[in-house]
Amino acid sequence: MKANVGGIDKILRIVAGLALIVWAAALGGPVWAWIGVVPLATGLFNFCPVYPLLGINTCPMKKA
C-alpha cells in the first residue's frame, strides 16, 4: 500500500470520521453514521483504495 492521502485531505478525513462516529455512538445518531470508520481509517493509514482507480494522489511526493 503506497500512501496516496496527505495534507488537508488526511485532516478532513480524520475529523469527518471522528464526527460521524461520535454522532453514532454518543449522540444516538443513525446506524449509517458508523460509516465514519472508513474515512477515519483511510486518514490514519494514508491510503484510500478508491484513489488509484481514479488516478488521484494527494500525498506529497517524497524526495529520495
Give residue-wise pLDDT tens across range 1-39: 899 999 999 999 999 999 999 999 999 999 999 999 999
What does the pLDDT read at residue 62? 60
Tell me if 10 sits within 8 A of 55, measured CB to CB: no
pLDDT one-digit tens code per residue, 35-53: 999 999 999 999 999 999 9
pLDDT number for residue 24: 96
* DSSP structural state of residue 5: -
The answer to whether the beta carbons of residues 6 and 52 sit under 8 Å apart is no
Q: What is the pTM of this model?
A: 0.88
